[in-house]
Amino acid sequence: MRTPIAYFVMLSGILFALGTVGVLTRRNALLIFMSIELQLNAVNLALVAFSRMHNQLTGQVLAFFSMVVAAAEVVVGLAIIVAIFRRRRTIDVDDARELRW
């Protein structure tokens, strides 16, 4: 028996909401980053679930693309965080705000 699609979507929604709350409330750049990963993977889950529902592979393939993009994003993002930390000895995002003008 197949698990109903609603379960996947609900799980995906919960994960996405958790990620969003994390992004909005955290000040530590690494934690924000992890929350973003959570959001991305929530979306991946939804993609795969819908792909299964429609019995076609497009969604799964798209999920692969988004994983690759996420990996690239991790590389760039972590590099930025490391660079910020080297310069300022902190990764609190609220401290890094002198680029506004």
Q: How far is CA 48 from the centre of its chain?
A: 16
Candidate residues 27, 65, 67, 78; the one interacting with other proteins per rule CB under 8 A: 27
Question: How many whole angstroms separate alpha carbon 70 and alpha carbon 15?
Answer: 16
Q: Does 76 bind other proteins (CB under 8 A)?
A: no
β-bridge partners, 92? 28
Q: Do 49 and 60 touch, CB atoms closer than 8 A?
A: no
Q: List the x/- string, 38-67, binding to other proteins by CB under 8 A.
A: -------------------x----------
* Site string (7-26) toward other proteins, x via CB under 8 A: -------------x--xxxx
| Residue 33: closest CA among 19, 14, 44 | 19
- Number of residues lying near other proteins (CB under 8 A): 16
Contact positions vs other proteins (CB under 8 A): 20, 23-27, 32, 57, 93-94, 96-101
